[in-house]
C-alpha cells in the first residue's frame, strides 16, 4: 500500500527532472558571425571593443563580467559540465590553465599560434606561456610587463629622477620618506600581497624564484629568508603605504601621499580614471634588480588569456574571435582603448610613455621576462602565501613563521603533484 | 471500521499525495539531493573539474589537524556569544523601553532600516569606516580623541568584535521588532495584577515580563544562534577572514577551501561540520525551550 502511494510522488519527481533536463538542451552552431558569449573577470570596456569587432569581422561580444575571482572560477568550471560553456572566457596561464587542459576542456589553438608567430604578430617567448605539453591553448588579449609607475610632479618637487639602479631607487625612497610621502605602494590580501615578494626575490635571484614555483626550492631556504629580511628592513624604514588601506593606489598618488606603484602596463587605464595623465602626471621606469650581477634585469610579465571551451556550441565563433584579437588592427584598437602596451610589434602603443617603455624593454640583451608570481605559483600555495605575506606586512617581524606556513602547504602540494 | 470509510480515507490520501507530490519533488530535488551530494563530496577529493575521487575520511582528518580550524571555530563561537549579547540584548532593551510609548513605532523605524540592507553592503560600508586611516580614524584624529591609530580590522580579536558591532547595527532593529510583537501579545491582566501588588521597574520585568516573553525569546535566540553560526557575508566583505586568517569563521573557511583553493572535498567537510553543529545547537536549544513551555512554567519537575 505504502509503495503504491509513493509511486505518484516518484513519478512527479521524475517528470520534474525530465522537464529540467529538456530545458537545457540546445544545438551546436558553426556560425562565424553573430554574437559571441564572453565570460570574463576583467572590468575592461568590452562593450566598446565589441563595436570594433562588429565592424571588422561581424562578431559582437555579449560580455558578462564577474568581479569576484572565486565566484568567476566556480562559474566557469561548472559551465563545462553543461552545454552552456562559454564561446570565449578569460582565464589565467600557469597552473590554472594546466588544470583545464588536463581535463581536455579548452580548445586547441596551435594553428592560430603558428600563423601569428610566423607573421611576427607576437614574440615566441609569450607562446611558451600558452603551451601545455607541446600544444597551445587560448590566445592573449594582452601581455603586460611590470614596471614602476611614478608621480612625476612629486619627483620633480624633490629634485629626484627615475632611478636606474636599486641603490638609486632606495635613496629616492629615503628622500620621499623624509618628506612624509610613502615611497612605494603595498597592499595585503588577494591578489596584491605577492607584489613585493616577487620584486625582491626575482631581483635578487631569478633562478631561485623559478625553483620556488616548481617546488625545487623551499620557502625556508636561507636565501629566501634573506630576501624577506630585505623586505622587513624596507617595512621598518617606512617605505611602504599602509597595506590595510582600502584607498586605491591611484587615489593615494593623486592626493600626493604616494610616489611609486609597481604594476603591469594594464594599470594605465586605471590610473587614467582619476585624471592623472601619462607624460605630465606620471611616468614609468623598469624596476631595477637588487642584484645587478644577474646580468639581465628580470621583468615580470602577466598575460590575460581568452580561451574557448572545447564543448562550447560557439567554438567556431570563439576561435575566429581569438585569432582576430591577435592581429595588429585589433591590437592597435585595443591598445588605444586601454592605453596599454600592445604585444603585437606591428601595432602601435597609444601613448608616448608606452612607446618609450616598449622601446626600452625591447633593448636586446638587457631584460629577461619571467611569469608573475600569481600565475607561476600553484593555486593552493598561492592562497596560503597571500595570507602569510599579508600577516607579515600587517605585523612586520621575523619572517620565519610565515615562510614555514607557506612551505607546509607547499610540501603537501608537491608530494602529490610532482 | 467498515471498508467504505477505509476506502474513502485512502482515496482522500491519494489525492492529497498528488497535490503534495510536486512540492515534495522540488524539495527533494533542490534541498535534499544537494545536501546528500555535499555529504558525498566531503568524502572525496575533487577540484571542480573531472570526477570526484573517493578519499575516505581524509578531509575530516585534514580539517581537525589544521590549526586555523581552531581559530575559525573560536571566532564562530565569539560570533554566537556576541550576537546574543549585543543585537539580541539591545534589541530587547529597545523594544521594552519603547513599548507603550507614544510614537514608539516611529522611534523603532531608524533601528529597522539597516535590516533592509544586505550583509555585503553593510560590510563594505563599515570596511571603509574601519580601515586604517578610514572614516573612524579620521574622525577620532579630528576630535583629538585616542584610538585614531588603532588598526580596527587588523588585530585579533578586535576585528571580530568590531565586525560583530557592525552586524549588530544591522540586526538590532529586527530583534526589537520581534520582541515588540512578543510584548504586545502578553495579556494585560497579570501585569496589572502585579502592578497592583506593588511590582515595578526591574522586578516587574524580571518576574513578570521576562517569563511571559519566553515564546518570543525562544524564537529570537534560536534564530540568532543559527544565523551567527553561519556568519559569512559580512566577514568576507570586511576582512576576507584576514589578515592571515585571524578573523576567519567556519563559513569563510568553507568558502576559502571550496572556491579559492578549488578543494571541494575539504570545503564540503567544513560545510557538513558546520551543518551538524548548527542543527545540533538549534535542536538542543529549541527542545529545551519547548520542554520548559510544556510544563507550564513548572520548571522544578521537568528535569527529573
What pLDDT is recorded for position A279? 93
Q: Do A166 and A214 share a domain, yes or no?
A: yes
Answer yes or no: are the C-beta atoms of B264 and B47 closer than 8 Å. yes
What pLDDT is recorded for position B7? 59
Cβ contact, residue pair A70, B260, below 8 Å: yes
What pLDDT is recorded for position B262? 87
Q: Do A271 and A340 share a domain, yes or no?
A: no
Q: Do A405 and A257 share a domain, yes or no?
A: yes
Q: Is residue A76 part of a domain?
A: yes
Q: Is residue A154 part of a domain?
A: yes
DSSP alpha helix (H) spans, chain B: 3-27, 33-41, 58-65, 67-83, 89-98, 104-112, 119-130, 135-142, 158-184, 188-196, 201-204, 210-212, 214-229, 233-238, 250-255, 264-294, 299-302
Q: Do A240 and A314 share a domain, yes or no?
A: no
Beta bridge partners of A278: A282
Provide the grid cell at B89: 540584548
Angle at A347 between CA A343 and CA A349, to 5 degrees: 80
Cβ contact, residue pair B28, A390, below 8 Å: no
Cβ contact, residue pair B243, A391, below 8 Å: yes
- Helix (H) or strand (E) holding A297, with range, is strand A297-307
Q: Do A63 and A160 share a domain, yes or no?
A: no
Q: Is residue A187 part of a domain?
A: yes
Tell me how many domains chain A contains.
Answer: 2
Q: Is residue B2 part of a domain?
A: no
Q: Do A294 and A307 share a domain, yes or no?
A: no
Cβ contact, residue pair B240, A70, below 8 Å: no
Q: Rounded to whole angstroms, how far apart are CA atoms A365 and A362?
A: 9
What pLDDT is recorded for position A23? 43
Cβ contact, residue pair B151, A70, below 8 Å: no
Q: Is residue A139 part of a domain?
A: yes
Cβ contact, residue pair B261, A5, below 8 Å: no
What pLDDT is recorded for position B13? 85
Q: Is residue B23 part of a domain?
A: no
Convert A328-337 to b/e letters by CB count within 10 Å (16 or more is b). Answer: bebbbbbbbb
What pLDDT is recorded for position A20? 46
Cβ contact, residue pair B17, A5, below 8 Å: yes
Q: Is residue B115 part of a domain?
A: yes
- Taking chain B (304 residues) in consecutive chunks of 10 residues, what is each chunk's mean pLDDT? 56 87 92 95 91 93 93 96 94 88 81 88 92 89 89 90 94 91 91 88 89 90 93 93 91 92 94 95 87 53 40
- CA distances A355 to A25, A261, A278, B30, Å, are 49, 19, 12, 56
Tell me how many domains chain B contains.
Answer: 1
Number of A:B CB contacts under 8 A? 106
Tell me, what CATH number does B208's domain have? Answer: 1.10.3720.10
Chain B positions contacting chain A at CB under 8 Å are 10, 13-14, 17-18, 20-22, 24-26, 28-29, 47-50, 127-128, 131-134, 151, 153-154, 240, 242-246, 255-256, 258-263
Q: Supply the Cα-derived Rg of chain A in whole angstroms.
A: 24
pLDDT tens by residue, B60-101: 999 999 999 999 999 999 999 999 999 999 999 989 988 878
Residue in A63, A79, A60, A82 with CA at minimum distance from that of residue A71: A79
Q: Do A308 and A178 share a domain, yes or no?
A: no
What pLDDT is recorded for position A110? 96
Supply the range of the domain harboring residue A216.
145-300+371-416
Closest residue to B242, CB basis, from A1, A11, A189: A189
Residue in A235, A189, A217 with CA at minimum distance from that of residue A388: A189
Answer yes or no: are the C-beta atoms of A191 and A69 closer than 8 Å. yes
pLDDT tens by residue, A77-135: 989 888 789 999 999 998 889 989 999 999 999 999 999 999 988 988 899 999 999 99
Q: Do A324 and A350 share a domain, yes or no?
A: yes
What pLDDT is recorded for position A22? 42
Q: Rounded to whole angstroms, how far apart are CA atoms B191 and B188?
A: 5
Q: Is residue A198 part of a domain?
A: yes
Supply the range of the domain harboring residue B176.
39-302
Q: Do A263 and A395 share a domain, yes or no?
A: yes
Considering only CB atoms, which chain B residues are within 8 Å of A379?
260-262
Interface-testing mutation among B244, B251, B266, with chain A (most A C-beta atoms within 10 A)? B244
Q: Is residue A13 part of a domain?
A: no
Provide the grid cell at A265: 602596463
Q: Is residue B31 part of a domain?
A: no
Interface-testing mutation among B127, B260, B261, with chain A (most A C-beta atoms within 10 A)? B260
Q: Rounded to whole angstroms, how far apart are CA atoms A335 and A404?
A: 42
What pLDDT is recorded for position A244? 86
Residue in A337, A318, A339 with CA at minimum distance from that of residue A139: A318
Which residues of chain A fall below pLDDT 50? Answer: 1-3, 9, 12, 18-27
- Residue in the block written with cell 600592445: A342
Q: Do A137 and A283 share a domain, yes or no?
A: no
Considering only CB atoms, which chain B residues are within 8 Å of A7?
none
Q: Do A168 and A258 share a domain, yes or no?
A: yes
Q: Do A344 and A407 share a domain, yes or no?
A: no
Amino acid at each position: 500500500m505504502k509503495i503504491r502511494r509513493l509511486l505518484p510522488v516518484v513519478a512527479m519527481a521524475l517528470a520534474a527532472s525530465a522537464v529540467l533536463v529538456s530545458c537545457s538542451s540546445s544545438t551546436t552552431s558553426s556560425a562565424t558571425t553573430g554574437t559571441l558569449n564572453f565570460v570574463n573577470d576583467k572590468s575592461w570596456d568590452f562593450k566598446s571593443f565589441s563595436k570594433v569587432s562588429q565592424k571588422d569581422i561581424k562578431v559582437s561580444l555579449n560580455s558578462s563580467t564577474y568581479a569576484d575571482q572565486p565566484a568567476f572560477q566556480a562559474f566557469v568550471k561548472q559551465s563545462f559540465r553543461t552545454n552552456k560553456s562559454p564561446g570565449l572566457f578569460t582565464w589565467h596561464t600557469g597552473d590554472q590553465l594546466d588544470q583545464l587542459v588536463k581535463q581536455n576542456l579548452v580548445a586547441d589553438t596551435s594553428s592560430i599560434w603558428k600563423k601569428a608567430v610566423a607573421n611576427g604578430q607576437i614574440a615566441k617567448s609569450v607562446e611558451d606561456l600558452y603551451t601545455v605539453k607541446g600544444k597551445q591553448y587560448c590566445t592573449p588579449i594582452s601581455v603586460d610587463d611590470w614596471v614602476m609607475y611614478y608621480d612625476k610632479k612629486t619627483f620633480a618637487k624633490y629634485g629626484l629622477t627615475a632611478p636606474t639602479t636599486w641603490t638609486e631607487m632606495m635613496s629616492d625612497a629615503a628622500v620621499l620618506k623624509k618628506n612624509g610621502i610613502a615611497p612605494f605602494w603595498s597592499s595585503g590580501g588577494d591578489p596584491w600581497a605577492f607584489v613585493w615578494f616577487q620584486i625582491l626575490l626575482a631581483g635578487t635571484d631569478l633562478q631561485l624564484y623559478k625553483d620556488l614555483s616548481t617546488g625545487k626550492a623551499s620557502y625556508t631556504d636561507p636565501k629566501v629568508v634573506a630576501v624577506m629580511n630585505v623586505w622587513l628592513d624596507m617595512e621598518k624604514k617606512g617605505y611602504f603605504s599602509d597595506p590595510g588601506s582600502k584607498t586605491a593606489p591611484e587615489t593615494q598618488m593623486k592626493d600626493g601621499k604616494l610616489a611609486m606603484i609597481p604594476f603591469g602596463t594594464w594599470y594605465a587605464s586605471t590610473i587614467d580614471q582619476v585624471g592623472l595623465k601619462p607624460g605630465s602626471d606620471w611616468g614609468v621606469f623598469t624596476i631595477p634588480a637588487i642584484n645587478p650581477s644577474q646580468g639581465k634585469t628580470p621583468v615580470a610579465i602577466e598575460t590575460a588569456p581568452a580561451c574557448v571551451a572545447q564543448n562550447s556550441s560557439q567554438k567556431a565563433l570563439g576561435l575566429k574571435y581569438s585569432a582576430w584579437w591577435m592581429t595588429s588592427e585589433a591590437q592597435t584598437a585595443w591598445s588605444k582603448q586601454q592605453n596599454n602596451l600592445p604585444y603585437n610589434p606591428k601595432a602601435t602603443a597609444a601613448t608616448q610613455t608606452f612607446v618609450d617603455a616598449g622601446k626600452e624593454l625591447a633593448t636586446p640583451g638587457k631584460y629577461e621576462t619571467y611569469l608573475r608570481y600569481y600565475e607561476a605559483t600553484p593555486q593552493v600555495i598561492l592562497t596560503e602565501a597571500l595570507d602569510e605575506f599579508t600577516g607579515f606586512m600587517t605585523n612586520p617581524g621575523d619572517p620565519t613563521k610565515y615562510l614555514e606556513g607557506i612551505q607546509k602547504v607547499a610540501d603537501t602540494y608537491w608530494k602529490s603533484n610532482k | 471500521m467498515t471498508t467504505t470509510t477505509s476506502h474513502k480515507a485512502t482515496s482522500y490520501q491519494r489525492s492529497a499525495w498528488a497535490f503534495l507530490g510536486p512540492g515534495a519533488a522540488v524539495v527533494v530535488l533542490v534541498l535534499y539531493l544537494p545536501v546528500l551530494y555535499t555529504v558525498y563530496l566531503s568524502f572525496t577529493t575533487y577540484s571542480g573539474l573531472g570526477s570526484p575521487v573517493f578519499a575516505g575520511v581524509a578531509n575530516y582528518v585534514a580539517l581537525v589537524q589544521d590549526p586555523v580550524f581552531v581559530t575559525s571555530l573560536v571566532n564562530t563561537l565569539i560570533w554566537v556569544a556576541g550576537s546574543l549579547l549585543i543585537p539580541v540584548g539591545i534589541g530587547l532593551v529597545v523594544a521594552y523601553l519603547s513599548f507603550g510609548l507614544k510614537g514608539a513605532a516611529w522611534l523603532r523605524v531608524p533601528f529597522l532600516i539597516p535590516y533592509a540592507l544586505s550583509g555585503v553592503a553593510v560590510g563594505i560600508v563599515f570596511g571603509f569606516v574601519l580601515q586604517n586611516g578610514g572614516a573612524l580614524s579620521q574622525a577620532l584624529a579630528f576630535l583629538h580623541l585616542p584610538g585614531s591609530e588603532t588598526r580596527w580590522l587588523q588585530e585579533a580579536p578586535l576585528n571580530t568584535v568590531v565586525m560583530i558591532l557592525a552586524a549588530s547595527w544591522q540586526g538590532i532593529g529586527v530583534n526589537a521588532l520581534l520582541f515588540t510583537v512578543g510584548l504586545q501579545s502578553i495579556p494585560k491582566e497579570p501585569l496589572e495584577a502585579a502592578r497592583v501588588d506593588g511590582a515595578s521597574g526591574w522586578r516587574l520585568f524580571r518576574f513578570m515580563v521576562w517569563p511571559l516573553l519566553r515564546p518570543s525569546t525562544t524564537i529570537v535566540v534560536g534564530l540568532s544562534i543559527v544565523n551567527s553560526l553561519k556568519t559569512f557575508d559580512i566577514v568576507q566583505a570586511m576582512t576576507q577572514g584576514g589578515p592571515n586568517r585571524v578573523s576567519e569563521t567556519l563559513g569563510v573557511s568553507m568558502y576559502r577551501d571550496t572556491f579559492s583553493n578549488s578543494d571541494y572535498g575539504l570545503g564540503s567537510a567544513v560545510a557538513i561540520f558546520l551543518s551538524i553543529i548548527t542543527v545540533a545547537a538549534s535542536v538542543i536549544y529549541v527542545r529545551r525551550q519547548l520542554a520548559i513551555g510544556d510544563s507550564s512554567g513548572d520548571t522544578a519537575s521537568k528535569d527529573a
